[in-house]
Amino acid sequence: MVKLTAHIEGIGLLGPGLENWASATAILEGRAPYVRQPTVVPVPEGLPPAERRRLGLVVKLALGVGLEAVSKAGVQPDTLPAVFASSGGDGQNCHEICQVLANDERLISPTRFHNSVHNAAAGYWSIATRSKAASNALCAFDWSFAAGLLEAVTQVVVDQTRVLLVAYDAPYPQPLLAKRPIPEAFGVAFVLAPVGGATTVTLQLADAAADRMSNTDLEALRTSIPAARALPLLQQLATQKAGSINIEYLDGRSLAVEVEPCS
């Protein structure tokens, strides 16, 4: 595979005990202890009240980290092509639809229906930011973060434009939770660009094993939430040092990511 390189201009992060990228850097560097706490997802800015009432947790999560990344990058969100990656989309909404379909009157509300599609977060993003730029929504099960990163960096290289990547997952309620045990909400976002930015990332496929977190609690987070597969990369970025990490990808392979701070 040809190596693909992009520059990181902004990062957004939200997860259990990780309130945002700024506060998480100390934890990821080992300068502050990691204390796992429930994820608190903010109500996104920019949406009309009627739209805010329709939002599920997973959309709030995606918009929250996306807006943080864009703010850190100092760019206008309405011009950014975007890639949204999730292993399962809105599990709560899926549960509600299944409950309705299990009853005699199988009447699904329009709100439930339009939130059921995998690109719901992309749609709400375009409303919140008034963006008319193209967006992709993809799913690759537990490897969705790596797939999303590869897609976003490919677009940066081919189209020579900034691209927003948003990867996110949230829990399913029971009984679906027993079959798909995602314990907490976790989201991460990057603004990637062809030039500029504080750090470059270079991608290529590899046969190496995926990197793990040395902190056992963070490692448990990494393995239990698909979007949290980003943690080794985030840790490398937090150190602001050059290095290479591997993230799980399809068919037993990994996505090798070389990180190089810009001087």
Where are the chain's structural domains?
4-261
176 exposure class (CB count in 10 Å sphere: 0-12, 13-18, 19+): middle
Which of 1.10.10.10, 3.40.47.10, 1.10.357.10, 3.60.20.10 is the CATH number of 4-261? 3.40.47.10
Phi, psi of 253 (to 5 degrees): -95, 175
Q: Which residues in the chain land under pLDDT 70?
A: 1, 263
188 exposure class (CB count in 10 Å sphere: 0-12, 13-18, 19+): buried
- DSSP assignment string, 177-213: HHHS---S-EEEEEEEESS-SSEEEEEEEE-SPPP--
Taking the C-alpha atoms of residue 249 and residue 191, their distance in angstroms, rounded to an integer, is 21
Phi, psi of 164 (to 5 degrees): -95, 130
Nearest to 262 by CA among 25, 7, 12, 5: 7
Residue 263 is predicted with a pLDDT of: 63
Cβ-Cβ contacts under 8 Å for 59 (sequence gap 6 or more) = 44, 90, 115, 120, 121, 124
Taking the C-alpha atoms of residue 11 and residue 75, their distance in angstroms, rounded to an integer, is 12
Pairing between β-strand 135-138 and β-strand 82-85 as defined by DSSP bridges: parallel
Residue 49 is predicted with a pLDDT of: 75
CA distances from 40 to 44, 70, 101 (A): 12, 20, 31
Q: What is the sign of the dihedral through the CA atoms of 90, 141, 65 and 33?
A: positive
Cβ-Cβ contacts under 8 Å for 120 (sequence gap 6 or more) = 56, 58, 59, 89, 90, 114
Residue 1 is predicted with a pLDDT of: 61
Please report the beta strands in 66-219, taking only residues with DSSP state E, as ranges in sequence order: 82-85, 135-138, 163-169, 186-193, 199-206
Residue 13 is predicted with a pLDDT of: 98
Residue 24 is predicted with a pLDDT of: 97
Taking the C-alpha atoms of residue 218 and residue 54, their distance in angstroms, rounded to an integer, is 32
Residue 43 is predicted with a pLDDT of: 81
- Give the angle subtended at the CA of 261 by the CAs of 258 and 263, to the nearest 5°: 140
Structural tokens at position 168:
């996110």
- pLDDT digit string (tens) for 135-175? 999 999 999 999 999 999 999 999 999 999 999 999 999 99
